[in-house]
Amino acid sequence: MKNTFTAEWIRLSAKRTWLIAIPLTIVYSAILTVVMIDQAPPRAAGGVSLQALGQSGGATLAVRAAVSFTSVLILALFVGMSAGSFTRGTWRASLLQQPRRVVLAAGTFAARIAVGAVVVAVLFLAGIVTAYAMAPGKGIDTGAWLDLASWRMAAEDYLRTMCFVVGWGVFGTMIGTVTRSVPIGLGAGIVWAGPLENILGDRLSFGGQWFPGLLLRYVVAPETAVVTGITLVLRLALYAVVALVLVAVLLQRRDVTS
Amino acid sequence: MNAQKQTRPGHNARDAERVDVVAVTGLTKRYGRRTVVDGVDLHLARGSITGLIGPNGAGKTTIMAMLLGLVRPTSGRGTVLGHDLSRPGDYLSRVGALIEGPAFFGNLSGRDNLHYFARLGGHNRGVIPEVLELVGLQGREGDPYRSYSLGMKQRLGIGAALLGDPELVVLDEPTNGVDPAGMRDIRAMVRRIAAQGRTVLISSHLLAELEHVCDRVVVLDQGGLRYSGALQDLPGSRAEVILLRGLDTSDNDALGRMLSGRGLAVERRADGFAVEVGRGDPAQLAGELSRCAIEDGVRLVELHHQRQSLEDRVLDLVGTGTRS
């Protein structure tokens, strides 16, 4: 698995990738943070408000809340990468070098998540810098942003965001593996994660309780959560196990043909 | 199955597994009711170059995919490099393959693609410059893969197959889409690969291509085995002949008399004579005829050995070969 991870990490972390990904992430983070802070109400029961922004953890609050808007983007990336490896034939070519299919898939996925972790770190840093830049203009007190509680909350926000990325990554990889087609996978994934989850989830109490995309949203936007704590963790773990088993079974049992 | 199989004397499954790099029997693949490969036996001797021949849909790629663990056989058993066919993970590190066309990352250079696959397989990346030289991509190794011509892509695919210093090299249609000069290069490359002591299994529907590189052929049709054996032993419908033609009418008349007096099977043709080689050595017979012509004062302007091309002999076995 180490070889697979390293190969994929080096492939993805080519200079050109960073030259595109880092500036885009910085701009994306800055725009989202500006919008979140600019639109923040003076006070709110939960979520982003000027009052909450002025407390410990305020520096990462806006960017963490903004991450929930990136679900479709993460899904599309993972569907594209996994389905694309089938359509381009690189999955077949890779199997000729690493015939253990689950090891190949796991190492590749881990490398993609590792690249995601770097991108999320940049996302947070850019969000913090933007928040610092905006704070004086909005009358936000940044005095508590560097205290111990803030560091702890920043770490928690980062982990929540990574959980969100891994969740959508698993979901996207599953769709890509099932469909083995980029357009079909993207179509199915976007329709489900966009309109279906959000419209049905808002109207059906079952949807709000069980839809995987909404459960993942609760991780980064706990103020909107219908399900919390251990129940949320168990339901997400259940989805992850089902998705990973499905992917493993499909990869193991399917013939690899063009 | 009406296969005209040729087996070596004393050859049995146990012997085959000991000496053959690939020894599989009864290899079958069905998709629902459709049988794609039907009980094929395949034996590849170490160091041989074996051509897998057949029209489109004959099952060539599926057989290769089963040997490479990409497709699970419906039935059949055997060994590849001494390991059970059902456990490809045990032997694939010693096998290099290009199957169903080259597949690389378009944004990476040829060299970076080879680095990626070498890392994936845990191979020594120090061999990459040597591999690039062997496949003739030195000087272009830094260019993005997407800028490569089809021939260059095929060569990079062969290069990737050689990364792990494989004992068995499986090449599926390596000359597909390649121009005549590129085909010649790939032919030479395959010979170089075999000269390094590797066993090569190569498929192509361009039979003339295989005729130039293979010493054994396996002919398939509609998933079934039609022939397996030495290339020169592949049966043909027309006899192997020596063609002779005299300088003018008087020479041709003298030639006719000379040939008829020697008890040879001779056919008179519009522009000369065709002498059947039979079971003898064609080179020896041609030499003998040349000597006789000189002794009899016959002036020859043509004397050459003509045998059915591989294409003709394969088409005799499998029909027109237009299925796909």
Q: What is the pLDDT of residues B105-141, one digit of tens each?
A: 998 899 999 999 999 988 888 889 988 988 888 888 8
Domain-wise residue ranges, chain A: 2-253
User: Which of A92, A100, A253 is nearest residue B100 as measured by Cβ atoms?
Assistant: A92
Which residues are CB-neighbours of B289 under 8 A, at least 6 positions away?
B242, B244, B259, B275, B303
Specify the pLDDT at position A163: 93
User: Which of B103, B116, B161 is nearest residue A11 as measured by Cβ atoms?
Assistant: B116
Exposure class string for B41-70: b at 16+ Cβ within 10 A, else e: bbbbbeebbbbbbbbebbbbbbbbbbbbbb
Specify the pLDDT at position B239: 67
Q: Is B72 helix (H, G, I), strand (E, B) or coil?
A: coil
One-letter amino acid of B102: P
pLDDT at residue B15 greater than cutoff 50: no
Tell me whether residues B119 and A14 touch, CB distance under 8 A: no
Interfacial B residues in 44-73 facing A (CB < 8 Å): 65, 68-72
DSSP-assigned letter for residue A139 = T
Q: Which residues on chain B are in Cβ contact (under 8 Å) with A104?
A: 120
Residue-wise pLDDT tens digits, A118-131: 999 999 999 899 98
Give the strand pairing for B272-276 and B241-246.
Answer: antiparallel
- CA B316 to chain centroid, in Å, comes to 17
Query: Looking at the predicted complex, does its ipTM rise above 0.95?
Result: no
Q: Which residues on chain A are in Cβ contact (under 8 Å) with B122?
A: 3
How many C-alpha atoms does A106 have within 13 Å on its Cβ side? 11
**CA of A62 to nearest chain B CA: how many angstroms apart?**
35
Please give the average per-residue pLDDT across A119-148, as a whole number.
Answer: 87
| Residue A14 CB burial class (10 angstroms; 0-12, 13-18, ≥19) | middle
Tell me whether residues B69 and A104 touch, CB distance under 8 A: no
How many C-alpha atoms does A194 have within 13 Å on its Cβ side? 11
Residue A11: closest CA among chain B residues belongs to which residue?
Answer: B116
B62 and B170 Cβ atoms separated by less than 8 Å:
no
Other Cβ atoms within 10 Å of A159 Cβ, number = 12
Tell me whether residues B107 and A255 touch, CB distance under 8 A: no
**CA of A161 to nearest chain B CA: how many angstroms apart?**
29
Specify the pLDDT at position B8: 38
Sorting pLDDT into bands at 50, 70 and 90, what band is B6? very low
Residue-wise pLDDT tens digits, B67-81: 999 999 999 999 999
